[in-house]
Amino acid sequence: MSDYRINTKCVQGGYTPGNGEPRQIPIVQSTTFKYATSEDMGKLFDLEASGYFYTRLQNPTNDHVAAKICDMEGGTAAMLTSSGQAANFYAVFNIANCGDHVVASSTIYGGTYNLFHVTMRKMGIDFTFVSPDCTEEELNAAFKPNTKAVFGETIANPALTVLDIEKFAKAAHAHGVPLVIDNTFATPVNCRPFEWGCDIVTHSTTKYMDGHGAGVGGCSGSGGSFFSTSARSAARRSAISFSIWSADTLTSPGAPAGASWAGASTAACSGMFSGAGGSGADVSGAGASAGPVSNKLGWGFSSGLTFNFSSAIRYLLF
């Protein structure tokens, strides 16, 4: 729905019912999904067929919500998480590993600051916090050889500081790393960071997107341009993970049918994708522990199973 205004996307984005289907997005409240035979189920696990089998990995309702937010932001793919903190954690943690470094704005949500300054430092990831009003020289001086990402908030919570997204994007890209922006306070109604050079957008949907104080949630989405053009992205392969506590999904509103992507997965892939643009996209990857993997998915990403089936699912993007 790229040609529609944001007001229309708020109402119509992410879901286009067919003849005889519900006009409103149905809430699919089921942990599992039925298949006629064990062979049918096996095809899902072997990625020989697309479909749903466990809500922690994917759920039709979540697919539509993620696609709507993605459409509103103007991104290429998005996924839901159990909270905004989960979205920020996965967006950063799958880019930066133990021994890596991240540059972040100093005026960010207190919970996110503690996540970075305390929790993720215990995991071996270092952070340098810079003032959002810093000069370009001061911002560039914060980068290190092991810097993997830059993080900021469109409008800081609760300081209400407005980030110069273009300045931070320019510095990030000059150093070959993506810019991650938490767009919770602005929402895509007021600002769409992808239009200003951002590469990954996160949300705490608990705030304005929920609007009623009724549900905790989060979302993380990719703009796609950095990961398809950056020379360093081929080596780094930004990744997004599924929350282990909620029904999460990675969804594209315009996945081309029959398209082909390639990449390296660390193990046999588990989980499915869906895209409104068409199914049957082919994804191929050389699995380090499982040999070559050929996946028939609705949206084409290499993907690998991390830890075990009951924990986080890691998806390597682009």
What letter does residue 108 receive in the DSSP assignment? S
Burial class (CB within 10 angstroms; exposed 0-12, middle 13-18, buried 19+) of 25 = middle
Could you give the CA distance from residue 70 to residue 89 in angstroms, rounded to a whole number? 19
Could you give the CA distance from residue 58 to residue 79 in angstroms, rounded to a whole number? 10
Q: Is the Cα torsion angle 188, 191, 196, 197 positive or negative in sign?
A: negative
Catalytic residue from among 109, 167, 236, 248: 109
Catalytic residue from among 100, 182, 199, 248: 182
> At 110, is the secondary structure helix, strand, or coil?
helix
Catalytic residue from among 43, 207, 237, 296: 207
Task: Name the residue among 236, 102, 94 with its Cα closest to residue 172.
Answer: 102
Q: Is the Cα torsion angle 112, 207, 200, 44 positive or negative in sign?
A: positive
Residue 95, CA distances (Å) to 53, 177, 196, 242 in order? 28, 9, 21, 14
35 as an active site residue: the answer is no
Token pair listed for 32:
């599992």
Task: Name the residue among 282, 235, 242 with its Cα closest to residue 81.
Answer: 242
Cβ distance 103 to 128 under 8 Å? yes
182 as an active site residue: the answer is yes
Catalytic residue from among 52, 54, 56, 90: 56
Active site residues: 56, 109, 182, 207
